[in-house]
Amino acid sequence: MINVSHLTKKYNRYKANDNLTFTVSDGETAVLAGPNGAGKSTAIKCISGLLRFEGEIEICGYNNKSIEAKRILGYVPEIPAPFELLTVWEHMEFIARAYRLNDWQERAEMLMKRFELADKRDKLGKELSKGMQQKISICCALLINPKAVLFDEPLVGLDPHAIKELKHMLGEMKAEGTTIIISTHMLESVEDIWDKVFIMMNGRIEAERTRKQVEETGENLGELFFRITEKNGEESE
Ligand code: ADP
């Protein structure tokens, strides 16, 4: 479970996140949607523990800055940043050592195979294409078998096979009870996997809906998104 309570993040005096409160339960996949600059990445970075903020964030009951939370939280950043001089396999090994994982090799092999990195295992980070860098980033985040995982625009730069594989993995993780937050503006790409959506604008959550609520209206995610983000001057919900 991810519990965000009164999250405010200011860059100098500018509020990039303004008093966000929301919960994503075990086994739930939440989409953080919103136009560029809405504050999605900032919220994800605060949850991941990379930024200082006001408010409280808990990962499965642990304060997000605690070691217990870090052990169970996976994070795929918007811009992959592999180590230039580590090979693909050494990235896996680095994460395994940092997290003190036991018996990780088989899972690493499985992830690399599924994301078509197995034949790139000896390639250096700097030799990889943007898409391959993104795949390493995903494999590193999933190697720890996280109980909660954050994806910031995970599909940008991935080839169709990797997109399909990632969606499969998201389905498997959901079935295992993993809490998933995906920030994206490619709404059609998450149409078949989302349970809950938070539509952000100007640092605030403008609308929160469950899948059931949206389906009852006969809208799809994209239609809801445009209706919420294009209404000007009306009261927020
Ligand atoms: P999104 O992910 O929804 O596109 P961001 O969280 O990246 O939005 O950005 C939200 C707002 O915060 C934007 O106005 C952006 O310019 C601003 N911002 C993001 N990062 C920084 C930073 N490091 N310093 C100052 N302003 C920032």
pLDDT digits (tens, 9 = 90+) for 4-37: 999 999 999 999 999 999 999 999 999 999 999 9
pTM over 0.85? The answer is yes
- pLDDT for res 198: 98
The answer to whether residue 90 sits within a structural domain is: no
- Out of 11, 32, 52, 198, mutate this one to test ligand 1's pocket (max ligand atoms within 8 Å of CB): namely 11
Q: Of 33, 32, 26, 30, give the one whose Cα is nearest residue 195.
A: 30
Ligand 1 contact, 50 CB (< 6 A): no
Q: Could you tell me the distance, in angstroms and rounded to a whole number, from the CA of residue 39 to the centre of ligand 1?
A: 6
The answer to whether residue 120 sits within a structural domain is: no
Q: Could you tell me the distance, in angstroms and rounded to a whole number, from the CA of residue 87 to the centre of ligand 1?
A: 32
Q: Of 130, 183, 181, give the one whose Cα is nearest residue 152.
A: 183
Q: Residue 236 above 90 pLDDT?
A: no
Amino acid at 210: T
| Atom nearest to 41 CA in ligand 1 | 2
CA-nearest residue for atom 12, ligand 1, is 16
CA-nearest residue for atom 21, ligand 1, is 11
151: phi then psi, degrees, rounded to nearest 5: -120, 120
CA-nearest residue for atom 13, ligand 1, is 37
CA-nearest residue for atom 22, ligand 1, is 11
Ligand 1 contact, 184 CB (< 6 A): no
Q: Of 143, 218, 173, give the one whose Cα is nearest residue 28.
A: 173
DSSP H helices, the chain, are: 40-48, 67-72, 88-98, 105-114, 130-143, 160-175, 211-217, 221-230
Residue position matching structure tokens 């809906």: 209
CA distance 89 to 163: 21
- pLDDT for res 232: 52
As for how many domains the chain has, the answer is 1
The answer to whether residue 96 sits within a structural domain is: no
- Out of 13, 42, 199, mutate this one to test ligand 1's pocket (max ligand atoms within 8 Å of CB): namely 42
Q: Could you tell me the distance, in angstroms and rounded to a whole number, from the CA of residue 79 to the centre of ligand 1?
A: 14
What average pLDDT does the chain have? Answer: 95
The answer to whether residue 105 sits within a structural domain is: no
Per DSSP, 124 falls in state B
Percent of the chain exceeding pLDDT 90 equals 92
Q: Could you tell me the distance, in angstroms and rounded to a whole number, from the CA of residue 14 to the centre of ligand 1?
A: 9
CA distance 221 to 215: 9
CATH of the domain at 34: 3.40.50.300
- Total number of residues shown for the chain: 237
The answer to whether residue 89 sits within a structural domain is: no
Per-residue pLDDT tens digits for 149-202: 999 999 888 999 999 999 999 999 999 999 999 998 889 889 889 999 999 999
The answer to whether residue 106 sits within a structural domain is: no
The answer to whether residue 169 sits within a structural domain is: yes
Ligand 1 contact, 77 CB (< 6 A): no
The answer to whether residue 109 sits within a structural domain is: no
Strand pairing partners for 4?
A: 22, 57
Residue 170 belongs to what domain range?
2-84+146-236
CA distance 121 to 10: 41
Handedness of CA 150, 159, 135, 41 (dihedral sign): negative
- pLDDT for res 234: 53
CA distance 135 to 141: 10
CA-nearest residue for atom 7, ligand 1, is 41
- pLDDT for res 157: 87
